Structure 1
Amino acid sequence: MPLIERTNSPSQQLLNNYELRLMSQLLEREQGISPAQIVEGTGATERLLRETAQLLTTEQELALYTRLARFNRDPFLGIRVGERINLPNYGILASAMMAAYNLGEALELLAEFAPLVSWASHSQLTAERYGEEDCACLTIFPTATDPAAAELEIDSTFASIQVVFNELSAKPVQFALLDMTRTGSADSLSYHRRLFACPLRTRRKRNALLIAQSVLNTHLPHPQPEHQKLFRDLCQQSTRVLTEKRGLVAAVRNRLLEEDGRVPSLEQLAQQFDVSARTLRRQLRAAGVTFQSLLDESRYRESKRYLASTDMTVEAIGRRLGYADARSFRTAFRRWSGQTPLEHRKAQ
């Protein structure tokens, strides 16, 4: 579950993947992997990994997770990062959870407002019986489809939940069970066993955390029922604003490259949305992207598809994507991927 951080400006609601930034920093400091290597071919920039007031698209999040996993040589990177993602990183959701009456209410808030923590991944909260106890089961469905990237994400998510619940209750919280799809030897789970004082099961068909009802009934030290509605309203407002901004980015992305070789200009797109070009540019900037970055992202995605699934020449692909000549397309593709189009096709 990629953690996203909210800035202090409630009107802007600019979000950034705090978890990815931490992973990038550790890879640079401990493994010598530069941010330039990590962002290569993802459509993201080094600035997105360094500045908090930037918004990553879902595609960039997925691509960055895959790149991080590809370079990483630390089997405990995910769980180490998750241990550093605590309540303050949950923004307004943290305030709502701290104001809850007990851990059960806090868990329900976490599940309900999951987009404030992770936009792309999702979770499911169900009831389940384990041993002799009734439990709440929080199942996490990772964003990444790449196995190594998904493993990083799941480790970080579960570690963060453990840390957050410890902070909420002001004492260590023992979960009933942790199920993970990951494989590996007993040694590869040594860090997990140190952090989670509960049974761990690997090679399962799910990534799920079970918490006994007796634990969920634990009263929190500072409930604020008089402020609970306010915090919930703020969480709903933040979710709505985030959804609207993601919706704008998705709408612009969908309008790009609708017809082969006919790339709309910013002015033409603005007309379709019935706003001025200046307004659309400002709205996209507030969402953490630019028209050019979305265009590059769409062109890169489409070019990879054409190279992998068709016999079209590089010149023909370039024309279809709106480039004036093949040289311009080759230069852009090398900038995105570090390879020429033909090198990428051969590698595929």
Structure 2
Amino acid sequence: ELDDEALGWFSRRLPWGSYGMLARASLSAPTLGLALARWCRHHALLTDDILPHLHTEGEQAALVITEQRDLGALREFCLVSTLRNALGLASWFIDSRLPVLAADFPFAAPPHAQAYGVLFSGPTRFQAPHAAVHFDARYLALPITRDEAAMRQMLQHALPLTVRQYRRDRLLVQRVRQVLAALPSATHSAHTLAEQLHVSARTLHRQLKEEGASLQSLKDEVRKSRAIDLLHRSDRPIKQVAQAAGFASEKSFIRAFRSWTGQSPAEFRRSARAVAP
């Protein structure tokens, strides 16, 4: 009825197809980082009521919205919808979920604040300086996997990308490895890991399986790497190496290490040092 893809948010209407044009303008970018930078730049050509921009600092990136005028009664709807639109398109570009580490909004928590947990996977912070979503910067390096034919098909059914979380996460295996390696001596259950990654334990298992991995195999990989490093570089007793690698007992560590290498930890240490220069 409005003939306005911005649904009345901005000082001028956006003709039907405006956001499709933004998507097409970013399609030829080689990586998600360049695609999102283009999307932000071209969005400013449609309206200067808000200015989206991509900010990267260290291992974290953020899509930030600066408000250029008073958005009035539709302010919340505008900021939330614009960020969800960008996240949905970004996820579609790389065929991967883009997990939100935190979402910021520059207004008080509304009565329906619980709904934000459905729209954004990470914690939501209200009364922030700007509206923004924060995510792992490694996703920016992922290549764009779509073509024009896929774009035409997507634009016919674009709404689900805005309102639903993309299921697949192409960097989930790397993210799990990072959490495990950060605290190798901790006991990591599926539930505690899922909480840190802002997914359910069921989703964690399913997505790891889709990526050809399992939680146990990733745990073993990190434990093995940690144990080998300690056996090479330290004189710690085997019991301490076992604890540092996340094993509850020395016996279980020796049994696992033998299955990985065909040697006991003590035998491995002696053979490694025998060939060391």
User: What TM-score does the superposition give when structure 1 sets the normalisation length?
Assistant: 0.36
Rg larger for: 2
Q: Greater RCO between the two (CA within 8 Å, min separation 6)?
A: 1
User: What TM-score does the superposition give when structure 2 sets the normalisation length?
Assistant: 0.45
